[in-house]
Amino acid sequence: MFVKNLVKQSLPLLILCGLGAIIAGSTLGLMNASDPNENLFLRIPGLIIVIPAVIAMRGNISTAFGSRLGSAYHLGIIDADNLLNEELKQNIMGSLFLSFFMSFLIGVLAYFISLFLGVSPNPIMIISIVLIAGVLSGLILSFMTIGIIYLVFKRGYDPDNITGPALATFGDIITILCIFASAVFVGGFF
């Protein structure tokens, strides 16, 4: 019975996650346009260096946030009727602080790694892109995490079976879209 419930809860989500990975990859392909004037990787030196780091950061922070909420649910600290409590607020603040700090650190490291590799990006540009993408995706994914946890609680599913794969995939999609949007936005100023 346990395996049947696990497959029932996880299989549709894993299929959706596979489709989500295709969307994230397609968005990455859009950033590598054939026209050199529209190719963000050519216009913004060092951008390719930040993408894996920002996606990994976002996935790690979001899934840890979802896991903490799942643990709080199992411990009885939160439930569907008592979701917006001090525990949740502290977790949101911690997640957003980590997003800001790690985004800044990734931007600075990406700049120095770019210099080491012989590419000379604008430091303000690369750090700004990473900060905007990291914090914006952090805000979106924090609210998405709360929504997913709430729906999982209401449906009576185990949050450990749903939140990890859902947040990892949605995190990839949202983060790559935020990197794309912030690169276009910040690139317009330089």
Give dist(CA 18, CA 4) in Å, integer. Answer: 21
Give percent above pLDDT 70 in the chain: 96
> Tens digits of per-residue pLDDT, 31-46?
777 676 778 888 888 8
Give the pLDDT of residue 41: 83
Distance CA 83, CA 148 (A): 12
Residue with tokens 């050519």: 42
In the chain, the amino acid numbered 7 is: V
Most confident of 14-23, 26-35, 163-172: 163-172
Task: Give pLDDT, residue 46.
Answer: 87
Question: Domains in the chain, start-ordered, CATH in brackets?
Answer: 2-187 (1.10.357.20)
Angle at 157 between CA 74 and CA 17, to 5 degrees: 115
What is the number of other CB atoms lying within 10 angstroms of the CB of residue 98?
A: 17
Look at residue 137 in the predicted model and tell me its pLDDT: 95
CA 181 to CA 31: how far, in whole Å?
10
Q: What is the pLDDT averaged over residues 102-127?
A: 93
Kindly report, residue by residue over 57-85, the tens digit of the pLDDT. Answer: 988 898 888 888 888 887 878 776 776 77
- Token pair, residue 74, equals 């199992």
The pLDDT confidence band at residue 140, using thresholds 50, 70 and 90, is very high
Q: Indicate whether 1 pLDDT > 60.
A: no
